């Protein structure tokens, strides 16, 4: 199923799609040879990846979107443009936009100690926080000194702990307590635990559930109707969701894991919805849109804060000013890459732990066709 923009319909678009689909160059072939391009389905079989969904951005619109393979191998359910995938860590930039929205409203400040607004839980003070504090800017740029690199989620049938239990590292949770173990602001280190703190902060300042506040501040504003932070996924939505598969090709227990750590890993969505999100940031940066953030805030989000990190997007020194974010939950791998100066980009979502190299091959094929630097 393809979702082209009206301006791009016709044979020319179909030819572009076919060139992308047949332009994957293997990265795992013999050294010193120039391998011939192969088609996407063959590469999916090579890597044992059941399903892939792609949306391509060109000139600030979704040029096309298409699904490939199977959302569920056992039932032969095929991937289409409305199939839901776990966005994993791409949840973070979506959460970051909500946080920056509340900065614009004056409910949060980028450089204020977050403990001033946290109510239900506090960042434990220690020797590292005597002078420098954990702030929203530092959480978003992964320089707050907070621990816990990645969150694990919970298997089907397991008790799902509360966010506060997770923050405290209580028995029955899969991560250590979230604490500060270096001076905030002194360096960058990726922290999913920091986004658990942010999740609690947003819940505390709004008094709303995290899925509800994300729906109100981001998803509904863009018409991201195939997106939700509901964890667990509602039964009415699970029929549209892809089953995750491990490296051996076996389905994840219960089809997928449940993530009470919603801010760092809990978004269910489609490439088309994430493409709409990226397009709004691209346009906002240039002062052409303000549905999510005013352009001044978007530009700050896409500005280096420390090393190559913006406010929860990875930046590049290339002239095309790209920003990107990858994601990996058990059974799912995905990537969003957007190029501000040309309003181009691509979103790729898969339902396999084996898809990392395949995603790179797809990005390179799209980049050659659409004329932007590969990530």
Contacts of 220 (CB under 8 A, 6+ apart): none
Q: Does residue 329 lie within any of the structural domains?
A: yes
**pLDDT of the residue at 339:** 86
Q: What is the pLDDT of residue 261?
A: 98
Which positions ≥6 away from 343 have C-beta within 8 Å?
57, 58, 59, 60, 279, 282, 283
Q: How far apart, in whole angstroms, are the C-alpha atoms of residue 65 and residue 56?
A: 6
With respect to residue 108, please indicate whether it lies within any of the assigned structural domains.
yes
Q: How many domains does the chain have?
A: 1
Burial class (CB in 10 A: 0-12, 13-18, 19+), 371: exposed
Tell me the C-alpha distance between 278 and 110, whole Å.
22
Instruction: Tell whether 1 is covered by a domain.
Output: no
Percent of the chain topping pLDDT 70: 94
How high is the pLDDT of residue 290?
Answer: 87
**Structural domain range at position 201:** 6-370
- Residue 7: pLDDT band (50, 70, 90) is very low
Residue 375 domain flag: no
Cβ atoms of residues 277 and 98 within 8 Å: no
pTM of the shown model: 0.93
Q: Does residue 176 belong to any structural domain of this protein? A: yes
> What is the per-residue pLDDT across 65-78, written as a single tens digit (0 to 9) for each?
999 999 999 999 99
Report strand pairing: 51-58 vs 314-315.
unpaired
- Per-residue pLDDT reduced to its tens digit, 285-315: 988 888 999 999 999 999 989 988 889 888 8
pLDDT one-digit tens code per residue, 346-357: 999 999 999 999
Alpha-carbon distance of 216 to 221, in angstroms, equals: 7
- The mean pLDDT of the chain is 93
Q: Is the pLDDT of residue 8 over 50?
A: no
pLDDT digits (tens, 9 = 90+) for 41-56: 999 999 999 999 999 9
List the CATH number of the domain containing 185.
Answer: 3.40.710.10
* pLDDT at position 6: 44
Q: What pLDDT does 374 receive?
A: 67
How far apart CA 271 and CA 366 sit, in angstroms, is 14
Does the pLDDT value for residue 319 go beyond 60?
Answer: no
DSSP structure class, residue 341:
T
């Amino acid at each position: 199923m393809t979702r082209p923009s009206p301006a791009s319909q016709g044979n020319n678009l179909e030819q572009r799609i076919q060139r992308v689909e047949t332009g994957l160059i293997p990265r795992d072939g013999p050294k010193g040879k120039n391998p011939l391009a192969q088609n996407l389905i063959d590469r999916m079989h090579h890597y044992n990846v059941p399903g892939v969904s792609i949306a391509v951005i060109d000139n600030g619109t979704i040029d096309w979107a298409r699904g490939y393979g199977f959302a569920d191998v056992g039932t032969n359910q095929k991937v289409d443009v409305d199939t839901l995938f776990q966005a994993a860590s791409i949840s973070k930039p979506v959460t970051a936009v909500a946080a920056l929205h509340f900065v614009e409203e004056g409910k949060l400040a980028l450089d204020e100690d977050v403990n001033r607004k946290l109510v239900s839980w506090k960042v434990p003070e220690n020797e590292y926080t005597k002078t420098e504090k954990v702030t929203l800017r530092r959480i978003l740029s992964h320089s707050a000194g907070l621990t816990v690199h990645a969150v694990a989620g919970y298997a089907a049938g397991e008790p799902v702990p509360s966010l506060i239990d997770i923050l405290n590292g209580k028995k029955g949770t899969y991560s250590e307590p979230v604490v500060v173990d270096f001076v905030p602001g002194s360096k960058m280190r990726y922290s999913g635990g920091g986004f658990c703190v942010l999740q609690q902060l947003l819940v505390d300042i709004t008094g709303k559930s995290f899925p509800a506040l994300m729906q109100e501040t981001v998803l509904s504003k863009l018409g991201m109707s195939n997106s939700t932070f509901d964890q667990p996924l509602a039964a009415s939505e699970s029929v549209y969701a892809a089953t995750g598969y491990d490296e051996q090709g076996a389905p994840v227990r219960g089809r997928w894991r449940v993530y009470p750590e919603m801010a760092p890993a809990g978004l269910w969505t489609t490439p088309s919805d994430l493409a709409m999100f990226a397009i709004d940031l691209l346009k906002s940066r240039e002062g052409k849109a303000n549905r999510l953030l005013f352009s001044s805030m978007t530009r700050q989000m896409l500005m280096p804060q420390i090393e190559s990190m913006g406010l929860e997007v990875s930046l590049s020194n290339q002239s095309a000013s790209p920003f990107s974010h990858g994601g990996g939950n058990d059974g799912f791998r995905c990537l969003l890459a957007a190029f501000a100066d040309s309003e181009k980009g691509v979103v790729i979502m898969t339902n396999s732990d084996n898809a990392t190299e395949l995603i790179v091959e797809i990005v390179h094929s799209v980049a050659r066709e659409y004329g932007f630097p590969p990530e």
